[in-house]
Structure 1
Amino acid sequence: MSFPHPLLESRTLGRLRVHAIQAGGQQLDGGAMFGVVPKTLWSRRLPADDKNRIPMGMRCLLIEHDDGLVLLDTGLGNKETAKFHEIYGIENAGGEGRTALEDGIRAAGFAPDDIAVVINTHLHFDHAGGNTWRAPTGEVLPTFPNARYVVQAGERAYAEHPNERTAASYFPPNWAPIVAAGRFEFIAGAREIVSGISVRPTPGHTPYHQSVVVQSGGETLCFLGDVVPTAHHLPLPWIMGYDVEPLVTLESKRTLLAEALREDWLLVFEHDAQAGFGRVVHDGKAYRLAE
């Protein structure tokens, strides 16, 4: 697999400058990514390799805000083993022993120490793994030492009490050092985090998954997280097999995409290896990406 390109896509949203950073690539089973959708349908959009895997991105969003830099999700990080990288087809290496996320932050003109707020959509390893990093000494440290981190309190409880199905997605080193440092804020429900940047519950993938809505100058952007992981998941019933409550995901998508269409939101697709930003249309049968 070739690393998803480009590393950095930047644009203006009202008064804000936003940067989509491709924090790495991975290869996941196509059947798992599309759930009950038959392979004859999804493979027309994303052909699988000989292991039935399809290319995926790990896109994060960096927002230049008056209250400081805000980072949405953090990719995988550098803590996992070579075997783990092989299983999931991970490519995310960056400079200085860090990852592509840190490279992307520097490409935007900043450094990890500049980040003021980190918002996690949820705590799965490919969304919160970059919250922390393993230093050459072996110690696991917050990647963004001056930031406050934000996630739903219910997501933390769900992550810390996994079952046989969810344990493979939640790794305590991705949040425990930040909790120990007193830098994790656990919230309940919809909340404005800083002026114009709000979270809203979009459950289904996990019971406490959240998406992030950014508003400035009459424009609105939504960082979807895993409620709609790629542009190929825009049709309402195209839902990942990874979702623990797929029928709840269906209703989250129905509500969110109707609002996105009505108000002409700009969407960010976190796991799409190609489409970073996009708007939706409805062709009478299904939602799809606008041309």
Structure 2
Amino acid sequence: MKIGKYDLIPIETCKFALDGGAMFGVVPKMLWQNSNQPDEFNRVTLHARCLLLKSNNKKILIDTGLGNNWDEKFMRIYNVDYSEFDLIKSLQTNGIKTEEITDVIFTHLHFDHTGGSTILENEKWMPAFPNAKYYVQKKHFDWALNPSEKDKASFVTNRFLPLYENGMINFIDGENNFDDEIQILISDGHTFSQQLIKISDSSKTLLFAGDLFPFTSHIPIPYITGYDLQPLVTIKEKKEILKKACDEEWLIFFEHDPFTVAATITKNEKGFSVKEKFLSLSEL
């Protein structure tokens, strides 16, 4: 798929698992298990899917997945699976070397979105993309350093703090235009100042939705995660984004859905729902 000057390429990094109840909040299991089958520990499967934007002079990566070098306990709890793909191999499959990445835009700094941004070399955490500039909201970065008891386990500082220490982080303050085709939108429901990445030209729009819509099954308004810091804000944001997506025929890109890469949205008397699902962007 191409939007403006950019070729859009999904980058699969790994599979992992989170508690199904946490992923669907107050929605009963007998409803969500129809679309997201849990394992014997009540965990549902997620992908850590990034997006590469490639132009003649830019190679921009949106989020970096889980990365590697996790301990045995972490691997067991989250059922991390690299058997099909990991970040570096997926980039190499698409002809991209780590040193060629020019920019990394973080939606937010939870470990499943920043884990691949650093690598362990000689027992020291180093930037995985040595020539890249990294972008995150200043408000969110400050929160990540002093999170609440509810969300502190989601932030693993060795996956993003070395970037700051190496002078590679560029702070963004609020909604902004990254360039002519890339716009930064702000979402505060899941965590403070999550960045949603809108890529558009005169004919097509794709929204990298981060954790506002982890799965296609999160499109219905009540389906929100138990991880969200401000669930009522999430509901308000979902209504606003889905109306635009429906009216303007946006594609929603799903970072965590194990079956669907992107989808269009429709609305009927029951609310918003998925109109058409796509297994890859090459279909578009």
Taking structure 2 as the reference length, the TM-score comes to: 0.93
1:238-277 residue pairs with structure 2 within 5 A? 238-277=223-262
**Shift in Å, 1:287:** 1.7
Kept in 2: contact 1:22–1:58 (CA 8 A): yes
Aligned pair partner of 2:95 in 109, 122, 132:
109
Q: State the Cα RMSD in Å.
A: 1.4
2:15 corresponding residue in structure 1: 25
**Secondary structure in structure 1 of the residue aligned to 2:226:** coil
Shift of 1:284: 2.1
Query: Structure 2: 5+ residue runs without aligned partners?
Result: 277-284
Contact 2:37 2:44 in 1 (8 A): yes
Q: Structure 1 vs Structure 2: percent identity of aligned residues? A: 37
- For 1:176 and 1:117, locate their aligned partners in 2 and report how far apart those are by CA, in whole Å: 17
Query: How far off its partner does 1:15 sit?
Result: 4.0
Deviation of 1:160 after TM superposition, in Å, equals 0.2
Structure 1 segments of 4 or more deviating over 4 A? none
Are 2:200 and 1:215 equivalent residues in the alignment? yes
Q: Take 1:214 and 1:45, find their aligned partners in 2: how far apart are those partners?
A: 28
State the Cα distance separating 1:191 from its structure 2 match: 1.0
Q: Secondary structure at the match of 1:252?
A: helix
Distance 2:82 2:109 in 1: 18
Residue type of the partner of 2:88?
Answer: E
Query: Offset of 1:79 from its aligned partner?
Result: 3.0
| Structure 1 gaps, min length 5 | 1-10
Cα distance in 1 between the residues matched to 2:30 and 2:5 = 44
Query: 1:217 Cα shift?
Result: 4.3
Give, as a single letter, the amino acid of the residue that structure 2 aligns with 1:159.
A
Note the C-alpha offset of 1:234: 0.3
In 1, Cα distance between the equivalents of 2:127 and 2:181?
A: 26
Deviations 1:127-168 (A, max 9, x none): 011111112x12211011111000110110100002222210
Aligned to 1:69: 59
Of the three residues 33, 41, 50, the one matched with 1:43 is 33
Q: Distance in 2 between matches of 1:223 and 1:26?
A: 20
Partner SS state of residue 79, structure 1: coil
Matched, 1:127 2:79: no
Question: Which of 144, 151, 172 in structure 2 is aligned with 1:187?
Answer: 172
Which string of whole-angstrom CA distances, capped at 9 and with x for unpartnered residues, describes residues 53-89 of structure 1? 1111111000113441111000011132121011011
Q: Distance in 1 between matches of 2:10 and 2:170?
A: 24
Instruction: Provide, for residues 152-201 of structure 1, a one-character-per-residue CA deviation record: whole Å limited to 9, x for no partner.
Output: 10110100002222210111111111111111011111111233111110
Alignment partner of 1:27: what SS?
Answer: strand
2:79 alignment counterpart = 89
Matched, 1:200 2:185: yes
Q: How far does residue 248 in structure 1 lie from its aligned partner after superposition?
A: 0.7
Q: Report the 3-state secondary structure (helix = DSSP H, G, I; strand = E; otherwise coil) of the residue aligned with 1:84.
A: helix
Give 2:93's aligned amino acid. A
CA contact (8 A) 1:117 1:148 kept: yes
Aligned residues of 2:24 and 2:226 also touching (Cα < 8 A): yes
Q: What is the DSSP-based 3-state SS (H/G/I as helix, E as strand, rest coil) of the residue aligned with 1:86?
A: helix
**How far apart are 1:209 and its partner, in Å?**
1.1
Partner residue of 2:44? 54
Distance 1:92 1:118 in 2: 22
CA-to-partner distance for each residue in 1:206-245, whole Å, 9 max, x for gaps? Answer: 0211100001342111000001111010001100001111
Task: Report if aligned partners of 1:235, 1:287 keep a CA contact under 8 Å in 2.
Answer: yes
User: Residue in 2 aligned with 1:171?
Assistant: 156
Q: How many Å separate the matches in 2 of 1:47 and 1:177?
A: 37
Amino acid corresponding to residue 243 of structure 1 in structure 2: D
Cα deviation, 1:237-256, whole Å, max 9, x if unaligned, reads: 10000111111111111111
Residue matched to 1:6: none
Q: What amino acid is aligned across from residue 65 of structure 1 in structure 2?
A: S
- Alignment: residue pair count: 276
| 1:97-146, Cα deviation, whole Å (9 max, x unpaired) | xx7111111111111111111000000000011111112x1221101111
